[in-house]
Amino acid sequence: MLRRLLWYSILLSGLACVPAAASDSPYLTKRQQLMMLAESNPAELTLWKGEELFHEKRGPKNASLEACDFGLGPGVLEGAYVQMPRYFEDAGRVMDLESRIIYCMKTLQGFTEEDAPIARKHSSTTHTADLVALYTYIASQSDGMKWDPPMDHPMERLTRDAGEVLFYRRAGKMDFGCVSCHSEQRKRIRLSYLPSVHQPAEWAKAISWPAYRIGHGVVRSSQHRVRGCYWQMRQAGLNFGSEASIAILSFWTDQARGHVATLPDLKR
Amino acid sequence: MYPWNHRTVMVTALLALAGVAGCAQQETPERSRGPDPLQMTPEAYAEYLVFESGSFRLDQPVQEGGDARQRMEQDEIQRLCSETRNRPPADVAARIVRIARESIRYPEGGIQLGDWRKGAELARSGYGYRVGHRNDDPDRTAGGNCYACHQMDPDELGYGNLGPSLTNYGELRGQGESVRRFVYEMIYNPHAYFPCTNMPRFGVNDFLSEESISHIMAYLLDPESPVNPGIEPGEGERRGL
């Protein structure tokens, strides 16, 4: 009950401070209407499952994820997600939140790639994937904060810059790059207004994943979204957590810098 | 915008890598076998990500034959438009237009209009050629997805606006030889008129068959088609058509 109230207040506060750009952004206007129509965000259930899983002792090493370092120190969740992707010394690479969760499930809990909690990357209407639940919980600890991915390590900068190249890279049977659909305001594919990468207020909302997707009936992740966009472009299938996917996420988070994240979000 | 062409960048990067690959090993355990990205330009690293890093399922078979690697390899127009971010300077634009013009193949026996009813379905359908976690059925005819970007039949409300409205296109332009030729070329390779346009090259890319193109053209141009319900006086001028 308390949580539900909390959720409403989050929803309401979101509505009260409609960004200035919303009035001339049909994308943001539509998205705010969607938030208003929804009674609550079903992602809440996924978030609770994630919270339980996070504290539960699991895996061959019978450990919780409480000691996992998401970049701000072991166990620090608040604000961690809006400061990712980030370079992790221990892993020697740039990771997004989903990759980092998997890394800790392996190192702290002893799960392997084949074990269901890691193998299962996406939810179905009958089963919420552990990974999605954990991701939703950890991301929610950055709700209302500003996207602020670090660019201190040279690999963080290179990854972001390569992500930008990938964003503009046209290929495949339809000659698309991300740029084809996300570089101008007020453009639509069919009835859907498209967020523009050059409008940080729109983009901050666009990259607000995890989100409960009404059309899918489950919570989806940023990895799921970027895979879907590559699929629509008729390019090759993008692997989960791959370096290229993280490069795209680095660029897309940087483009939202300084604008507020809605976590978890509600999308169509 | 980019000081070197793509090949030079790659070659330079690879040469640089050869010298440093050995010392990258301790700090980057997961990368001990690969080259050091920090020696690469963002452009070279992006190419490495696409083709060498295992990020994409390049080996997956695709319905046109071969594998998905082809879907990532850029032809010259794709590469030039990516490098110039769809704003080619005049000389590059002229080159793109020339390449595009040379690419167009015309049907034997001239450009004919097919059946607008079949065209209506093809203009709506966004099916075909998707690969990855799910694959489109190669036996189902691919659609042109024109409604994703264009208004056509004014009674269809689900249309996008990346491209201009094509409602009453035939009504305003007629069906003459030169109009048919222009529309055919636009569908086949629109870079012949709009270098670095967002519109896909449905002909060059073998996305739509010659027959499908003839049906979609009928849908656009046939006076009987619902795309051409007739216009109010002055509408053509207002829309700049």
Task: Give the closest of A181, A227, A236 to B60, CB-based.
Answer: A236
Q: Are strands A188-189 and A192-193 parallel, antiparallel or unpaired?
A: antiparallel
Sign of CA dihedral B72, B74, B75, B77: positive
Domain boundaries, chain B: 9-72, 109-238
Q: Do B57 and A237 touch (CB under 8 A)?
A: yes
Phi, psi of A131 (to 5 degrees): -60, -45
B227: pLDDT strictly greater than 60: yes
Give residue B11's pLDDT. 42
* CB within 8 Å: A173 and B158: no
Condensed to tens digits (0 to 9), the pLDDT of residues B6-65 reads: 444 444 444 444 444 434 334 444 555 678 999 999 999 999 999 999 999 999 999 999
Percent pLDDT > 70 in chain B is 83
Per-residue pLDDT tens digits of chain A, which is 268 residues long: 344 444 444 444 444 344 445 668 999 999 988 888 887 899 999 999 999 999 999 999 999 999 999 999 999 999 999 999 999 999 999 999 999 999 999 999 999 999 999 999 999 999 999 999 999 999 999 999 999 999 999 999 999 999 999 999 999 999 999 999 999 999 999 999 999 999 999 999 999 999 999 999 999 999 999 999 999 999 999 999 999 999 999 999 999 999 999 999 999 8
Q: Which chain A residue lies closest to B44 (C-alpha atoms)?
A: A162
Residue A168 to residue B43, Cβ atoms within 8 A: no
Q: Name the CATH topology of A41-267.
A: Cytochrome Bc1 Complex; Chain D, domain 2 (1.10.760)
Half-sphere exposure of A137 (CA within 13 A, CB side): 22
**Cα B19 to Cα B3: distance, rounded to the nearest angstrom:** 23
Mean pLDDT (chain B, rounded): 88
Query: Given B53, B82, B162, which is nearest A168 (Cβ)?
Result: B82
> What pLDDT was estimated at residue A217?
95
Of A166, A170, A189, the CB nearest to B49: A166
State the ipTM, two decimals.
Answer: 0.90
Residue of B56, B79, B84 best to disrupt the A interface, most CBs of A under 10 A: B56
Q: State the average pLDDT over residues B109-127.
A: 97
CB contact under 8 A, A239 and B54: yes
**Banded model confidence at residue B241, pLDDT cuts 50, 70, 90:** low
Please name the fold of domain B109-238: Cytochrome Bc1 Complex; Chain D, domain 2 (1.10.760)
Distance of residue B46 Cα from the nearest chain A Cα, in angstroms: 5
- B149 interaction partners in chain A (CB closer than 8 Å): 189
Active site includes A68? no
- Distance, in Å, from the CA atom of A163 to the CA atom of A167, rounded to the nearest integer, reads 6
Q: Which residues contact B135 (CB under 8 A, 6 or more apart)?
A: B63
Record the tokens describing residue B128, joined without a space.
């075909």
Structure confidence by residue, pLDDT tens digits, B190-214: 999 999 999 999 999 999 999 999 9
pLDDT for residue B8? 42
Where exactly are the structural domains of chain A?
41-267
Structure confidence at residue A61 (pLDDT): 98
Burial of A91 (0-12, 13-18, 19+ CB in 10 A): middle
Position B154 pLDDT exceeds 80: yes
In order of B12, B46, B111, B170, B241, the CA distances from B17 in angstroms are 9, 15, 53, 57, 55
pLDDT of residue A93: 97
The pLDDT value recorded for residue B235 is 66
C-alpha Rg value of chain B to the nearest Å: 22
The pLDDT score that the predictor gives to residue B234 is 66
Distance from CA of A255 to the nearest CA of B (A): 17
* Burial class of residue B178 (count of CB atoms within 10 Å of its CB; 0-12, 13-18, 19+): exposed
Q: What is the pLDDT of residue A37?
A: 82
In DSSP notation, chain A reads -HHHHHHHHHHHHHHHT--GGGGG-HHHHHHHHHHHH-SS-THHHHHHHHHHHHHS-BTTTTB-STT-B-SSSBT--TTTGGG-SEEETTTTEEE-HHHHHHHHHHHTT---TTSHHHH--S-BTTB--HHHHHHHHHHHTTTTPBP-----SHHHHHHHHHHHHHHH--BTTTTB-HHHHSSSTT-EETTEEPPPTT-HHHHHHHT--SEEETTTTEEE-HHHHHHHHHHHTT-PPBPTT-HHHHHHHHHHHHTTTTSB--SSEEE-
Please give the share of chain B, as a percent, with pLDDT higher than 90.
Answer: 80
